[in-house]
């Protein structure tokens, strides 16, 4: 890995810094569902939502693992997904199910039919299904799914399809296949949506169906009970959600793990980077818990920041067999990963300089 020197000179091999501290898959493992460790309260809440076939509304501070929970459930239960929809300030209810490219549709040229006559373009060729729409369609038998799917999905050029991402190829194969699938859907950061969106999807969440006006107003049939999508909806609690929406969900608040539980979680994410129980890991977890409890900080760091901080320590050459105090000058290079506000930077530096350590 080459590092920036800040000397205004073009780097050559003699000033290039290289490290083998992080294996190639270390960054992927940070979000690998195989390493997700859930607290007992989380397991109970997920199982309640699974038993009642209702969405699970997941709250918690940023970096607490809300979004990763859906992937962990999908991985452990062997479901399709997670299919993720990231809510934006401009999102409307329809966007969770599909988008329609009206501009391309109206600009499209008439298609030549088998007898040589011109046929108008079909609206369904300009529809792209999104997370919840895909999950509902995959839960249906092929004969009930097919009226919603573009003809190009079945009359395709294998050479052209091979250029698509493996994930897109797999989804297209599932859509045209005959097997029904149960999917995990993550609707991320619902509190960022316009005020009306949560109420606008109440019926769709209850019935797991949606209507497509562009296809003559046809509506997807009822999803078989055993194939209802497993829905996780995350919130940062930035605003109050409507009561009618809350009544349709189970609720979970993911608190930050502590002590041995936190150490085990961090160790599982850093396999191949830092051994669980190493002096540096134990000491850094203790330091992290201390600064999180510090009332002077405007924005305490989250678990995601802790993982990044430890990765940075290894990239900078930190020795996992030593504590923070034994290599303070190396560790402090990553302090910006814990301090995300200017007024928190100096207090964190001071705390690190004064840290006695725990081996």
Which residues are registered as beta bridge partners of 235?
A: 59
Q: Which of 192, 218, 253 is the last residue of a domain?
A: 253
**Using CA atoms in the order 323, 329, 332, 334, what is the torsion angle rounded to 10 degrees?**
-90
Cα 167 to Cα 249: distance, rounded to the nearest angstrom: 29
pLDDT, tens only, 69-89: 999 999 999 999 899 999 999
* Residue appearing with tokens 């859930």: 38
Q: Rounded to whole angstroms, how far apart are CA atoms 194 and 277?
A: 45
pLDDT at 322 over 70: yes
Task: Give yes or no: residues 95 and 174 share one domain.
Answer: yes
In 10 A of CB 152, how many CB atoms? 14
What local confidence, expressed as pLDDT, does residue 148 receive?
95
The reply to whether 142 and 282 lie within a common domain is no
Query: Where residue 230 falls among pLDDT bands split at 50, 70, 90?
Result: very high
The pLDDT of 252-278, averaged and rounded, is: 81
Helix (H, G, I), strand (E, B) or coil at 224: coil
Q: Is the pLDDT of residue 24 over 80?
A: no
Arithmetic mean of pLDDT, 341-357: 88
Are 229 and 312 found together in one domain? no
Question: 216 with 297, same domain?
Answer: no
The pLDDT assigned to 12 comes to 63
**Same domain, yes or no: 169 and 69:** yes
> What's the domain range around 175?
40-253
Which has more pLDDT, 270 or 177?
177
Average of per-residue pLDDT across 143-172: 90
Interatomic CA distance for residues 259 and 95, integer angstroms: 41
Kindly compute the dihedral angle of the four CA atoms of residues 45, 51, 54, 58, in this order, to the nearest 10 degrees.
Answer: 10
**DSSP assignment, residue 58?**
E
| Cα distance from N-terminal residue to C-terminal residue, the chain | 29
Q: Using an 8 Å Cβ cutoff, are 209 and 136 in contact?
A: yes
84 three-class SS: strand
222: domain CATH number is 3.40.50.300
Dig out the tokens for 50 from the structure. 């699974």
249 with 262, same domain: the answer is no
Beta partners for 16?
Answer: none
For 97-134, write each residue's pLDDT tens digit.
Answer: 999 998 888 887 776 666 666 778 889 889 999 999 99
Which position has the token pair 């290289």?
Answer: 18
Q: Residue 204 has which token pair?
A: 């769709």
Rounded mean pLDDT of 309-322? 89
Using the predicted structure, report yes or no on whether residue 59 has a pLDDT greater than 50: yes
Count of beta carbons in the 10 Å neighbourhood of residue 126: 18
Q: Is the pLDDT of residue 284 over 70?
A: yes
Neighbours of 352 (CB within 10 A): 18
What average pLDDT does the structure give for the chain?
Answer: 86
Q: What totals of helices (H) and strands (E) does the chain contain, helices first?
A: 16, 11
Residue-level pLDDT at 16: 46
Q: From 69, 70, 90, 67, select the one nearest 80 (Cα to Cα).
A: 70
Q: Are residues 249 and 291 in the same domain?
A: no
Rounded average pLDDT over 131-155? 94
CA 297 from centre of chain? 27
Distances (CA, A) of 2 to 14, 17, 41, 309: 11, 5, 43, 19
The yes-or-no verdict on residue 46 having pLDDT over 90 is: yes
Q: Sign of dihedral through CA atoms 174, 180, 186, 187?
A: positive
Q: Is residue 238 a contact partner of residue 153, using CB atoms and an 8 Å limit?
A: no
Confidence category of residue 240, pLDDT binned at 50, 70, 90: confident
Q: Are residues 26 and 94 in the same domain?
A: no
Give the chain's radius of gyration (CA, Å). Answer: 25
Give the DSSP H or E segment for 286. helix 279-292
Residue 20 has pLDDT above 70, yes or no: no
* Residue 181 sits in the same domain as residue 307: no
pLDDT value, residue 15: 45
What secondary structure letter does DSSP report for 256?
Answer: P
31 vs 63: CA distance, rounded Å: 12
Q: With 50 as the cut, is the pLDDT of residue 17 above it?
A: no
Between these two residues, 233 and 317, which has the higher pLDDT value? Answer: 233
Q: Do 219 and 101 fall within a single domain?
A: yes
Domain boundary pick from 253, 287, 304:
253
pTM: 0.82
What is the tally of structural domains in the chain?
2
Contact 52, 290 (CB under 8 A): no
Contact 79, 184 (CB under 8 A): yes
pLDDT at residue 358 in the model: 65
Q: Which of 14-18, 55-59, 203-207 is predicted least confidently?
A: 14-18
Residues 326 and 279 in one domain: yes
151, 155, 160, 166 alpha-carbon torsion, rounded to 10°: 70
Contact in structure between 56 and 49 (CB atoms under 8 Å):
yes
* CA proximity to 186, closest of 71, 30, 78: 71
Q: Is it the case that residue 231 has pLDDT exceeding 90?
A: yes
Q: How far apart are CA 279 and CA 321, in angstroms?
A: 5
User: 77 with 147, same domain?
Assistant: yes
- Per-residue DSSP letters for 67-102? HHHHHHHHHHHT-EEEEEEE--TT--GGGGTEEE-H
> Which residue would you say has higher pLDDT here, 132 or 269?
132
Average pLDDT of the segment spanning 287-307: 85
Residue-level pLDDT at 331: 92
Q: Which of 225, 253, 281 is the last residue of a domain?
A: 253
């Amino acid at each position: 890995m080459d590092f920036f020197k800040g000397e205004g000179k073009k780097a050559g091999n003699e000033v290039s810094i290289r490290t083998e501290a992080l294996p190639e898959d270390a960054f992927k493992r940070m979000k690998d569902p195989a390493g997700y460790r859930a607290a007992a309260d989380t397991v109970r809440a997920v199982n309640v939502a699974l038993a009642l076939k209702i969405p699970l509304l997941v709250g918690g501070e940023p970096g607490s693992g809300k979004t990763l929970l859906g992937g962990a459930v999908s991985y452990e239960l062997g479901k399709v997904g997670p299919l993720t929809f990231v809510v934006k300030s401009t999102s409307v209810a329809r966007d969770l199910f599909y988008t329609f490219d009206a501009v391309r549709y109206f600009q499209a040229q008439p298609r030549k039919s088998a007898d040589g006559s011109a046929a108008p373009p079909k609206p369904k060729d300009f529809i792209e299904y999104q997370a919840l729409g895909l999950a509902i369609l995959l839960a249906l038998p092929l004969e009930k799914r097919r009226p919603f799917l573009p003809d190009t999905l079945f009359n395709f050029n294998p050479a052209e399809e091979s250029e698509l991402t493996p994930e897109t190829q797999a989804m297209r194969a599932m859509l045209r296949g005959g097997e029904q699938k149960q999917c995990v859907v993550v609707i991320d950061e619902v509190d960022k949506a316009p005020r009306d969106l949560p109420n606008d999807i109440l019926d769709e969440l209850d019935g797991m169906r949606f209507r497509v006006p562009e296809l003559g107003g046809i509506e997807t049939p009822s999803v078989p009970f055993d194939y209802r999508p497993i829905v996780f909806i995350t919130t940062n609690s930035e605003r109050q959600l409507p009561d009618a929406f809350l009544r349709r969900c189970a609720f979970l608040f993911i608190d930050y793990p502590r002590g041995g539980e936190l150490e085990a979680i961090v160790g599982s994410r850093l396999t191949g980077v830092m051994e669980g129980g190493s002096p540096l890991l134990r000491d850094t977890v203790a330091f992290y818990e201390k600064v999180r409890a510090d009332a002077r900080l405007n924005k305490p760091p989250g678990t995601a920041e802790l993982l990044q901080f430890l990765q940075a320590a290894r990239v900078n050459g930190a020795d996992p067999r030593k504590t923070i105090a034994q290599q303070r000058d190396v560790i402090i290079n990553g302090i910006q990963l814990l301090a995300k506000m200017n007024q928190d930077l100096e207090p964190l530096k001071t705390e690190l300089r004064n840290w006695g350590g725990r081996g």
